[in-house]
Amino acid sequence: MSGTLDLLGVGLGPANLALALAVDEVTTPFEALFVERQPTFGWHRGMLLPGATLQVSFLKDLVTQRNPTSPASFVCYLHERGRLADFVNARTFYPTRLEYHDYLEWAAARVRTPVRYGTSVTALRGVREDGRVVAVEAELSDGSLARARSVTLGTGLRPRLAQGLTHSDRLRHTATFLPDVEEFEATGAQRPVFVVLGSGQSAAEVVHHLHQRFPTAHVHSVFRSYGFSPADDSPFANQVFDPEAVEEFHAAPAAVREELLRRHAGTNYSVVDLDLIEELYRLEYAERVAGTHRLHLHRASEVVDVSETTDAVAVTVRERTTGAVQHVRADRVFCATGYDHLDPAELLTDLAGSVLRDAAGRVRVRRDHRLVTTDDVTAAIHLLGGTEHTHGLSSSLLSNVAPRAGEVLDAVLADASAPARPGRPALVP
């Protein structure tokens, strides 16, 4: 097959960016292309709130855990920016998200492997030869096609709204928070009222940001739990994000994997940094003392109705313990209600039926992150995320992007140097 790439990366977030940097280190002939929907590199730009910090150590950057001598590390970035000594003096493992975004942009600009920005992969199809799928053909939004023997899906997560809610000009997911709030600010509305749904890190950050940014605003924070709970980032619990944990997790029985995910959900889901919880508590308490209440916490509560009028959103909040109902007339509703994984079948068109699934209907994934498919598919599809059920809690986070990039690239390189496809052993899950 001529014109067939060794590797096509779909998406260029941190996951595929770590892989692109690893590809740059390959010394044998190797042709790869990365395709990214956004016009330039961007990492959750809508939530780059001033002061918000990274929730993993900077040492879990794009390269260090795979190749500590790489010139694309966070330390090299600091050195090049002339801030290494200053960062050391700050005595932290957790740079701000703004600084980390700058690092990621800096690293993306260093990538030598071609990246096509402003282009989406709209579909992936199998290329058949002698009854086997030997490559994958990608349909790109610019009308062109790209063919590759291996594909990595690093498409990230999709914002999720609470059930029954739909996007509108006044009801948005926090994924686009900063542009939305800037647009609102430009209206010059006086004494605005905001409703924020959710009890995780994004919800707490948005509640705090709105309260500080709009000194006359009333901010209603609505969440189903009784209070914001702290993220468990204690050292033993944190080991669940280690590269070795992925090894153990993948080899464990399914029931044990499920239990571990449940037991350690508090390291990542619906939890908030303790500093921020304490800051919100201090704010609310100070308002009680002053008698000027504008931060309203609706604990153990849920939104039971949302209806838009011409100039506002009428939100009905029900307290689940008492059943008491409160009506809030809001200028904007922000949903910090999480993200969903994309099922790879959405892009895989004619190949979707070749993907093998477990009893719960989830895709089966090998230790080297390759989708388990029927034997006739010799082209490789690797998942960089959406594999929590097989690879554990770090699957869609930053913790393991570097080691995972190495594992995937090793698998792809082994495949590229393998003998002709016919007669190769079937995939072993």
Confirm or reject binding of residue 56 to ligand FAD (CB under 6 A). Answer: yes
Q: Are 166 and 305 in contact (CB under 8 A)?
A: no
> Smallest distance from the beta carbon of 48 to ligand FAD, in angstroms?
8
Confirm or reject binding of residue 396 to ligand FAD (CB under 6 A). Answer: yes
> Smallest distance from the beta carbon of 168 to ligand FAD, in angstroms?
21
Task: State the Cα–Cα distance between residues 336 and 203, nearest whole angstrom.
Answer: 5
Confirm or reject binding of residue 21 to ligand FAD (CB under 6 A). Answer: no
Of 9, 22, 43, 207, the residue at the interface with ligand FAD (CB under 6 A) is 43
Beta bridge partners of 137: 125, 147
Closest C-alpha among 148, 154, 118 to residue 136: 148
Q: Which two tokens stand for residue 143?
A: 């009308």
Task: State the Cα–Cα distance between residues 235 and 231, nearest whole angstrom.
Answer: 12
Of 9, 95, 126, 154, the residue at the interface with ligand FAD (CB under 6 A) is 154
Closer by beta carbon to ligand FAD, 22 or else 317? 22
Of 120, 199, 267, 400, the residue at the interface with ligand FAD (CB under 6 A) is 120
Of 19, 23, 36, 407, the residue at the interface with ligand FAD (CB under 6 A) is 36
Closer by beta carbon to ligand FAD, 39 or else 164? 39
Buried b (16+ CB within 10 A) or exposed e, 236-246: eebebbbbebb
Confirm or reject binding of residue 219 to ligand FAD (CB under 6 A). Answer: no
Task: State the Cα–Cα distance between residues 419 and 421, nearest whole angstrom.
Answer: 6
Helix or strand holding residue 27 (H, E): none
Binding mask 374-393 for ligand FAD (x = CB under 6 A): ----------xx--------
Whose structure tokens read 């071609």?
114
Closer by beta carbon to ligand FAD, 10 or else 146? 10
Whose structure tokens read 């966070």?
74
Size of the site for ligand FAD (CB under 6 A): 30
Closest C-alpha among 352, 347, 309, 355 to residue 330: 309
The HSE-up count of residue 417 (CA atoms within 13 Å, CB side) is 8
> Smallest distance from the beta carbon of 385 to ligand FAD, in angstroms?
4
Confirm or reject binding of residue 156 to ligand FAD (CB under 6 A). Answer: yes
Confirm or reject binding of residue 399 to ligand FAD (CB under 6 A). Answer: yes
Cα 120-124-125 angle, rounded to 5 deg: 150
List contacts with ligand FAD (CB under 6 A).
10-16, 35-38, 43-44, 47, 54-56, 120-121, 154-157, 202, 384-385, 396-399
